[in-house]
Structure 1
Amino acid sequence: MDDDPRRGRAVAGRAVAALPALDGVLHLYWTTGLTWPAPDDRSLSLAVLGGEVPFTPRVLLPLAALLLGTSAAVAVFARGSSGRRTHRLCGLVAFGLAVGLLVRGLAGVVWACGVLDGSGSTFYWLNLLLYTPVCLAFGTAAAWLVGVHRHLGRAVALALPLVLVAAAMVGAYGWRPGEQRGYRSPFLASVPSRYLDTPVARFHYVRQGTGGSPVVLLSPGAAWVFAWRAQLTALSRTHTVYVLDLPGQGYTTVRDPHFTWDLEGMTAAVDSFLTGLRLPSVALAGNSWSGGWALAYAQRHPDRVGRLVLLAPSGLHERDPMAWEAMKMPAVGELLTNLAAGRGTVASSVRGLFVHKERATGAVIDAMWAPGTRGANLRSNYRLERGLDWRGTERALPSTRQPALVVWGRQDTVLPVRQARRFGALLPHADVRVLEGCGHALTLDCPDEVSGLMETFLR
Structure 2
Amino acid sequence: MQSRRIVAAVHTVLAALHIYWATGATWPASDERSLSRAVLGVQVSFAPQVVLPLAALHLLLAFAVLKSDRSSVARLVVTGLTAGLAIRASLGVVWAFSYSSTAFYWLNLLLYTPACIALCGADVRMLRIRWVKPAVVAGPLAVVTALALVAYAYQPSEQPHPAETGRYVETPLARIHYLQQGTGSPVVLLAPGASPASAWDQEMAVLAKNHTVYAVDLPGQGETRLHDEGFAFDLNGMTNALEQFLDALHLQNVVLGGNSWSGGWALAYAQRHPQQVSKLLLLAPSGLDEPDVASWEILKLPLVGEVLGKLATDRSMVASAVRGLFVHRNLVTPQLVDTLWIPGTYRDNVRSMYALERGLDWSVTEKALPSTRQPTLVLWGDHDTVLPVAQAARFAKLLPNATVRVLANCGHALTVDCPGQVTPLMAAYLK
- Partner residue, 1:278: 250
Displacement after TM superposition at 1:157 (Å): 2.8
Normalised TM-score (structure 2): 0.69
Q: Is 1:306 the counterpart of 2:290 in the alignment?
A: no
- For residues 150 and 229 of structure 2, the distance between their equivalents in structure 1, rounded to whole angstroms, comes to 26
Is 218-227 or 192-201 further displaced after alignment?
192-201
Larger radius of gyration: 1
Out of 372, 382, 397, the residue aligned to residue 400 of structure 1 is: 372
- For residues 214 and 276 of structure 1, the distance between their equivalents in structure 2, rounded to whole angstroms, comes to 14
Q: Is 1:451 the counterpart of 2:430 in the alignment?
A: no
- Partner residue, 1:315: 287
Out of 171, 186, 205, the residue aligned to residue 198 of structure 1 is: 171
- For residues 369 and 316 of structure 2, the distance between their equivalents in structure 1, rounded to whole angstroms, comes to 39
Task: Classify the secondary structure of the residue corresponding to 1:420.
Answer: helix
Q: CA RMSD in A?
A: 1.8
- One-letter identity of the residue aligned with 1:207: Q
Displacement after TM superposition at 1:148 (Å): 8.9
Q: Is 1:421 the counterpart of 2:393 in the alignment?
A: yes
- Partner residue, 1:26: none
Residues 74-131 of structure 1 deviation map (CA, whole Å, 9 limit, x = unaligned): xxxxxxxxxxxxxxxxxxxxxxxxxxxx9xxx9xxxxxxxxxxxxxxxxxxxxxxxxx
Which runs of 5 or more residues in structure 1 are unaligned? 1-101, 107-146
Is 258-267 or 441-450 further displaced after alignment?
258-267
Residues 374-426 of structure 1 deviation map (CA, whole Å, 9 limit, x = unaligned): 01100011111111001111011111110000000000000000000000011
- Partner residue, 1:174: 153
- For residues 399 and 161 of structure 2, the distance between their equivalents in structure 1, rounded to whole angstroms, comes to 44
- Partner residue, 1:244: 216
- Partner residue, 1:165: 144
- For residues 346 and 257 of structure 1, the distance between their equivalents in structure 2, rounded to whole angstroms, comes to 25
Displacement after TM superposition at 1:434 (Å): 0.4
Out of 404, 417, 430, the residue aligned to residue 432 of structure 1 is: 404
- Partner residue, 2:200: 228
- One-letter identity of the residue aligned with 1:196: V
- For residues 313 and 279 of structure 2, the distance between their equivalents in structure 1, rounded to whole angstroms, comes to 35
Would the alpha carbon gap of residues 182 and 260 (structure 1) be closer, same or farther in structure 2, given more than 3 Å must change? closer
- One-letter identity of the residue aligned with 2:364: G
- Partner residue, 1:339: 311
- Partner residue, 1:155: 134
Normalised TM-score (structure 1): 0.65
Displacement after TM superposition at 1:171 (Å): 2.1
Displacement after TM superposition at 1:297 (Å): 0.2
- For residues 181 and 220 of structure 1, the distance between their equivalents in structure 2, rounded to whole angstroms, comes to 22
Task: Classify the secondary structure of the residue corresponding to 1:396.
Answer: helix
Q: Is 1:259 the counterpart of 2:231 in the alignment?
A: yes
- For residues 281 and 419 of structure 2, the distance between their equivalents in structure 1, rounded to whole angstroms, comes to 14
Displacement after TM superposition at 1:257 (Å): 5.2
Displacement after TM superposition at 1:246 (Å): 0.1
Displacement after TM superposition at 1:258 (Å): 5.0
Within-5 A mapping of 1:19-418: 150=130, 152-181=131-160, 183-184=162-163, 192-210=165-183, 212-256=184-228, 258-418=230-390
- One-letter identity of the residue aligned with 1:288: S
Displacement after TM superposition at 1:158 (Å): 2.8
Displacement after TM superposition at 1:162 (Å): 1.0
Displacement after TM superposition at 1:153 (Å): 3.1
Displacement after TM superposition at 1:445 (Å): 0.2
Task: Classify the secondary structure of the residue corresponding to 1:327.
Answer: helix
- One-letter identity of the residue aligned with 2:326: F
- Partner residue, 2:76: none
- For residues 291 and 263 of structure 1, the distance between their equivalents in structure 2, rounded to whole angstroms, comes to 12
- For residues 319 and 229 of structure 2, the distance between their equivalents in structure 1, rounded to whole angstroms, comes to 33
Report % sequence identity: 56
